[in-house]
A = this chain, B = another copy of it.
Amino acid sequence: MKLSSREKSILMRVPLIGAGDETATARFMEALTAVTVPPRQILFRDGEIAEHLFCVLNGYVRLYRLSKDGREADVRICGPGDTFNECLIFGADRYHYNAQAVENCTLARFELSRIRALIDEEPNVAKAVVQCLSNSLVRTMDCVANDRLQTATQRVANYLIKQGPGSATSYSLRLPFQKSVLAGKLGLAPEALSRAFSSLRESGVIVRGRIIQVNDIGALKQI
């Protein structure tokens, strides 16, 4: 399968792939298999033998775990440019979560064994892996802390701030996925997300479909 130029440029910007020298990047590019998956397709399941590292090129993928009674909890939502399963390169030999495409997705898939071989030849790749893992770890720790410290409304406000341009006191953004996905990402039931949005209305947040208008970042930061 052939990659579009957009997809190639995403890959080149992924830290893991574009960070090393040209030969390392080339080795990555020749090792990948492009796959497309329909909405709700399961990529792999918790407990299966781990075979692949993935990079999302298009669409979104949910990484989630199941409780004994069948409830689901997302541990991460991956979008274009995100890689996942770096923790399996020199870690456990089985997946530690389920992965499901949220919508139509295209992904780059790499065999873990080839990545391992590549690392042995290119020490810089190991550094890039360390960087990826460090970022993932920090973000996941943030997630634990936020879950334990913040209310639903605060989590949503936080999300809007992080997505914002950083400058500008007001802006609008379009959610890249359904609200139910955002709810899962924030560890909320969809209803709780909806209520959080409506309680943010009095802080100048206007929601219409996937479009969210933020009128006053300062107000959000104070919540």
Interface, chain A (partner B; CB < 8 A): 64-65, 67, 71, 73-76, 86-92, 96-97, 119, 123, 126-127, 129-131, 133-138, 140-145, 147-150, 187
Q: Identify the closest chain B residue to A222 (Cβ).
A: B68
* Copies of this chain: 2
Minimum CB–CB distance for A186 against chain B, Å: 10
Q: Is the CB of B97 within 8 A of A141?
A: yes
Q: Is the CB of A75 within 8 A of B145?
A: yes
Minimum CB–CB distance for A100 against chain B, Å: 15
Minimum CB–CB distance for A94 against chain B, Å: 10
Q: Is the CB of B91 within 8 A of A134?
A: yes
Q: Is the CB of A141 within 8 A of B96?
A: yes
Q: Is the CB of A87 within 8 A of B134?
A: yes
Q: Is the CB of B91 within 8 A of A144?
A: no
What would be 19 A-B contacts, judged by CB atoms less than 8 Å apart? A71-B149, A73-B144, A73-B145, A73-B148, A75-B144, A87-B138, A89-B130, A89-B134, A90-B134, A91-B130, A91-B134, A96-B141, A123-B123, A126-B126, A129-B130, A130-B130, A133-B133, A137-B137, A140-B140
Minimum CB–CB distance for A124 against chain B, Å: 10
